[in-house]
Structure 1
């Protein structure tokens, strides 16, 4: 288990707890009461730390190396029913953007999402979750296919941004993202969007126009990352914590600003601390949201979705 800098007090208590339990198993000394006391301290310390996280700490949690990625959610939710689909039928297959058909219970869905890697080799293979234009065009192709067969769409967001390379610009990165935003706003099937990690810039927005947009508790959603914001304003990454606070990028901030509709509570310690519980919560949330969206006609879905995004940033004084 890897620990972030602000989690070090938890690490110390966890090691004490494991050591005490080990002593109890290897000897005849009764350490039951000691273990209970340490466990109580550990639980209280977790509650203290995770209930007072600042914006930068939530950014760190969203990038935790043990945090589940898109395919982890899909495989856990769908089991062996998921069938990945490939290619944009124009240029190629972008490994940073995945999509395909899967079932939750007996309900079929089209799943879309960015996928990061677990180690150096797979991170390079997945291009660190940064999609090229063909990735967004693949996502759009699959979403239009879902519309044709009247299947609800679930989009998982986890990207540091769209790939900014020269070749991506040559193949129309901006156009691909803009077209996705336009086309998604007019899809006649339910679209459920969940930010499961990083939600940066147009790279996230390119698959994030939905009827219901939700964020897991320890994720962020912003036009720019704290590091990039700091480098622009202060010519250095040293002010990334200040930038994170100023950007108002946490789930709580996004809910207050009405950019998202709902915050999905994570298990104590973050999604990586109890992956199975996180998958269970996300599955129940998807099914509950779909039941509500099923009550709307295709025309009502489109109208409400477009109006929701038109209303962003509008204030009455």
Structure 2
């Protein structure tokens, strides 16, 4: 898909990925260190620090492993989202009117062109390329890397639409492969987040309702609840954004179908619309649940149900 869409934000995406990973590692380390010192404070009088470290080191290592797996899911979803946005940019450029310099920018499917001499009709869509006539001028590729001009073949409207449809289908294939390979992992992670949220919120309510009312312990439980919610949104948000962006793709294709286009281009757009109808970009957790924002409401509802049951049958000390 990259050979068709030509993403132009690779450096920015790389920086964002590195920054996100750095923030995750630093924030997780700070939370785990604070949690360890809290256990030293609470259990230090009854047992040794070495025993506390040995008791919790496995849990802390598991937290790092789960976060790295969640980062992988986030990164894959973000990569699909970038390419969907780039696809929609190309479709939007097909909708807008052309300009006198053939409306091609860096990263466009037709590469970067410079028009030398002649006139171009700017009223037609598709970068005003259909009106180019041989002999009226020369259309050459401008290569910023090689600093030289080469003859370039101009893609027609229907060829561009076909390439964009192929790019979309490749993105659908990538999402399906991700669902097959990492769907079970995602289901395990979501289940783990649900259980940890139940335990953290239950510990917070018990501490606030009990006689001890340790402020630091209650604050730590609140931090853990926030951490687990952030972990859940790390899985959900990229998938939800991809679903929304794919809906924008459908809207743009519908707008193109309603515009003044040739019959051959309309045939390709009809095929694109059918592909959008039959091949949807959706993320699933091992086929058990759709990974979108509705999952967050389901998790919150499950936590509320379990808390009501636990608080009814377990009396806090």
- Between structure 1 and structure 2, the one with the greater Rg is 2
Greater share of strand: 1
Q: Highest relative contact order (Cα 8 Å, sep 6+), 1 or 2?
A: 2
Establish whether TM, by shorter chain, passes 0.5: no
Q: Aligning the two structures, in what range does the TM-score lie when normalised by the shorter sequence? A: under 0.3
TM-score calculated relative to the size of structure 1:
0.25
Greater share of helix: 2
